[in-house]
Amino acid sequence: MTTAFPALGTTAEIVVTDPARLAPAAALLREELAAIDAACSRFRPDSEISRLHEAAGKQVRVGPLLAEALAVAFRAARLTGGLVDPTVGAAVRDLGYDRDFASVADDRDIATTTTTTATAATAAAAGEPAPGWHRVLFDPRRRLVVLPRGVQLDLGATAKALAADRAARRIHAALGCGVLVNLGGDLRAVGASPDGGWQVALGDDHAGAVARPDTSVALTRDGALATSGTTRRRWRRGGRTVHHIVDPRTGDLPGPRWRTVTVVAKSAVDANTASTAAIVLGSGAPDWLARRRLPARLVGVGGDVVTTPGWPS
C-alpha cells in the first residue's frame, strides 16, 4: 500500500508491506519531514539554518537534527573531494534558486524580476567558486558551529536524502513492517521487501516515471537508491536555462554531460552524494563511481546510457 503528498518542494511517497500500517507510517513520515524542514530549509526565515546565517561570525550551538545534517553534508564534501559542498548557497542564490522551487518555476526569466537584473545576470553567467566546507568551524560532539561571514549554506544535496534515511529507519522501528520512502528520487528501504524486491521505475521525471519508465530496478531489503538530474528543476536566468545542481569548483553549472545519474548504495545519503557528484564530475563520472564500487546508471544529454559494474543488466 502506498500514499503520496507534497513536501520539501517535491513529492513524498511511502510504501509499506502491511496495509494496516500505512496511516501511522505516513504520519511518522510527515513528522520527520516537518522536522527537517524546520531545521534545514533556507527558504524559511524561522528555520534553524536561517538563524545560523543571521549569526554568522559567532559561535552557535545548534540543535541535534541540524548538527546531524551538517555532519552529513561535511562528510559528503570530504568523501567527494569537494564535488558536493554545502557552501554553494550564494552560488545557488545567484542562479535564482532563492525561494521554494514552485515560485522559481513560475518566473519565465528570473533575472527580469529582480531589482538588480544586470548584476544578477552577470553573477549567473560567471559564478565564483564556493568558499569551501573546510572554512566552517564545526564541533559535532558539542554541536558548536562558527559560520564565517559571507558563507551561505545549502544542504539541499544531502538533507532530503537524510530525511529519507531517518524516516525509513524510524517507521520500521516503530511499526515493524517493511517500508520504502521516496523523497523526490531519494529512496530508502528498511525491513522485509515484497517478493522480487521493491520495483522502482526510473525516468527523467520521478513524478511520471511509473507511467512512462525508461527502465526499472528492484531494490531489496535495507538498500537505497538516488537519482540526480538536470531535466526537472530548471528555469530561466540571465537569458539562459539553468538548474539546481552547482559545481562548487566554479560556482556555476557543471558541464552538460549527464541528464540523470542513478546510484545504488547502502543509504540514501550515500547514493545522493554519489549521484550529485557524478553530475558535477561529468565525463569522468563512470570511472569515479566504478572505483568506489557503486552500481550506477548514467544517461547522457543525448540519450546514451552508461552503467557501472554491479548495475543489473
Pairing of strands 215-219, 59-61: unpaired
Domain of 278: which CATH number?
3.10.520.10
Report the range out of 6-10, 202-206, 257-261 with the highest average pLDDT.
Answer: 257-261
Q: 156 or 169: which carries more pLDDT confidence?
A: 169
Range of the domain at 22: 2-307
Evaluate whether residue 155 is within a structural domain.
yes
**Residue-wise pLDDT tens digits, 122-135:** 333 457 999 999 99
Q: 211 or 311: which carries more pLDDT confidence?
A: 311
**Residue-wise pLDDT tens digits, 68-110:** 999 999 999 999 999 999 999 999 988 876 655 444 444 444 4
Evaluate whether residue 312 is within a structural domain.
no
Q: 220 or 198: which carries more pLDDT confidence?
A: 198
DSSP result, the chain: -EEEEEETTEEEEEEES-GGGHHHHHHHHHHHHHHHHHHH-TT-TTSHHHHHHHTTTSEEEPPHHHHHHHHHHHHHHHHTTTSS-GGGHHHHHHTT--S-HHHHHH-S-GGGGSS-HHHHHHHHHH------GGGSEEETTTTEEEPPTT-----HHHHHHHHHHHHHHHHHHHH-S-EEEEETTEEEEESPPPTT-EEEEE-SSTTTTTTS-SEEEEE-TT-EEEEEESSSSEEEETTEEEES--BTTTTBPPPS-EEEEEEEESSHHHHHHHHHHHHHHGGGHHHHHHHTT--EEEEETTS-EEE-TTS--
Average pLDDT over residues 6-18: 95
Whether 129 contacts 233, CB under 8 Å = no
Can you give the pLDDT at residue 114?
Answer: 30
Can you give the pLDDT at residue 120?
Answer: 36
What percentage of the chain reaches a pLDDT higher than 90? 76
Can you give the pLDDT at residue 313?
Answer: 72
Evaluate whether residue 313 is within a structural domain.
no
Can you give the pLDDT at residue 61?
Answer: 98
Can you give the pLDDT at residue 296?
Answer: 98
Query: How many domains does the structure of the chain reveal?
Result: 1
* Mean pLDDT computed over every residue of the chain: 88
Evaluate whether residue 145 is within a structural domain.
yes
Evaluate whether residue 169 is within a structural domain.
yes
Within 10 A of 83 (CB to CB), how many other CB atoms are there? 23
Listed in sequence order, the residues at least 6 apart from 245 whose beta carbon sits closer than 8 Å to its beta carbon are 228, 230, 253, 254, 276, 279, 280
Evaluate whether residue 222 is within a structural domain.
yes
